[in-house]
A and B are shown apart, each in its own frame.
Chain A
Amino acid sequence: MKRAALLSACVALQAWADPSPTDVQKLMQRDFHPRGQATMERLAQDGVQRVCTETRDRPPAEVAKALEADQMKTIAFPQGASLMGDWKRGETIAQSGRGLTWNDKPGEPGGGSCYNCHELSPQEFSHGTIGPSLRGFGKSRGASAEIQRYVYGKIYNAKAYNLCSQMPRLGLSGTLTPEQIKDLVALLLDPASPVNQ
């Protein structure tokens, strides 16, 4: 099938000396053990992880396009006119780094860890720089249905828009619920949000 052919084409790129991702995965499965909610299944690479590993995050364009299309299908956009929730709850979610680690209690509300990588509201001095600054994001883009959908989708599954992005697939991985993602959409787009002051 076309996609499998594309995937195997990547294998040749990777330096012969290093063990292949499959070898590394086997060794990790031998040398890791489950703890709390962090189970061993998490070590099984999916197509996105394997291609991005093999190509050091620079996949050939047609491979990326094909796999991004697959990832886009995983996004379940909620019904209803607006995808914007409450930006105040969004700020709390953006500040929280909890969720899915082996010492987080399953079922406890997770956070988006957004401030780890992004600048958002100007009041937060301690922000990261791995992702672009999102200050004034909504001010310059408005809050149309289309931009709401883009932001919702990007948070749900960033790999649908940029295959080897370092941004986690916060919706698909079960870190954030649809309501939490809508609150983050509001944090970015709501004119009243501090991000847009």
Chain B
Amino acid sequence: MRRIVFGAALAVGCTAACAAQAQDSAKEIQRYRQMIAEGSPAELFELEGEALWKKTQGPKNVSLEKCDLGRGPGVLKGAYARLPRYFKDADRVMDLETRLLYCMTTLQGRSREEATKRVFGTADRPSEMESLSAYIAAQSRGMKLDPGMSQPKEKESYALGRALYFHRAGSWDFSCASCHGEEGKRIRMQDLPVLYKPQAARPVVATWPAYRVSNSQFKTMQWRLNDCYRQMRTPEPNFGSETTVALIHFMTVTARGETYRGPGNKR
């Protein structure tokens, strides 16, 4: 970034001690994350999700057990690791939550309005999407991320995702890259992975969706983008829209080949 000379003189250099101290704190935060990962309530959400997967709902009073997540009706093993991908029946690229919504409306006959009334839950009452995401993502643990990139619409979605990543808009002129653009940057104590680079995207995409200790909630990627756009001071993205799926698709392709090890634990 070009800085005018006056501004460049402004940065009071960080002494060696303070650089070392920053190094320690990064190491200690890594230990914090590793310790909270050892004992995580995320598994409680997987149990809830399993019950919801089997629960008959909607006017057609059927469960989601026939839902085709890309590997055939009802096949859960490794399905999450191959999303987002193109689905012929819906003629569009879908991530897990968009695909679940599709099954809720087609298989269970539920209206989109009812099924999306509460897509983001609370600590007291997690949403269906959150618990289902925990359960289904867990079925891909140990499998390599392999999102779709062969279909024309998959390539289009990837290109749109990449353009969105660098698209500056909103009252504060932010793009994703404004915060996730340079190595070693932090907001407060929160380090910011450079998600358009594979080595930074891999550990992140491999551990979403995740349990967030700060509010005891299980959070999904659709929520993650929703909350980022909120802080970018833009209007709200539609749940499961092509733009949100394109961004998730772009980051997942950037991280492809990594072994999925979620659901994870986040601050």
Contact = CB atoms under 8 A, between A and B. Distances in A.
B249 to A, nearest CB: 14
A32 B178 CA distance: 20
Interface stretch (B31-39, B160-168, B215-223): B160-168
A56 B235 contact: no
Contacts of A52: 168, 173
Contacts of B179: 130, 166
B227 to A, nearest CB: 10
Interface stretch (B9-17, B68-76, B133-141, B256-264): B9-17
A57 B165 CA distance: 13
Interface in A99-124: 100-103, 115-117
Given A31-B242, A161-B7, A162-B4, A18 B234 contact: no
Contacts of B177: 56-57
B12 A19 contact: no
Interface string B135-178: 00000000000000000000000011011101111111111011
A40 B231 contact: no
A61 B2 CA distance: 9
B172 A17 contact: no
Interface in A36-61: 38-40, 42-43, 45, 48-49, 52-53, 56-58, 61
Contacts of B174: 166, 168
A136 interface: yes
B238 A31 contact: yes
Contact of A42 (B175, B185, B235, B238): B235
Contacts of B192: 130
A32 B4 contact: no
A130 B159 contact: no
B14 A133 contact: yes
A42 B7 CA distance: 29
Nearest to A19: B163
B167 A161 contact: no
Binding site secondary structure of chain A: loop
A39 B11 contact: no
Given A28-B243, A43-B234, A162 B2 contact: yes
A162 B188 contact: no
B159 A18 contact: yes
B60 interface: no
Interface in A130-156: 130, 132-137, 140, 150, 154
Interface of B: 1-4, 6-7, 10-12, 14, 22, 159-160, 162-164, 166-175, 177-179, 181-182, 184-189, 192, 229-231, 233-238, 241-244
Interface of A: 17-21, 23-25, 27-28, 30-35, 38-40, 42-43, 45, 48-49, 52-53, 56-58, 61, 64, 100-103, 115-117, 125-130, 132-137, 140, 150, 154, 159, 161-162, 164-166, 168-169, 173-175
11 contacts: A24-B167, A32-B229, A35-B235, A35-B236, A42-B233, A42-B235, A45-B168, A48-B173, A52-B173, A116-B188, A117-B187
Ranked nearest first, the 5 interchain pairs of A and B with the lowest CB-CB distance are A132-B11, A168-B172, A31-B241, A18-B163, A35-B236
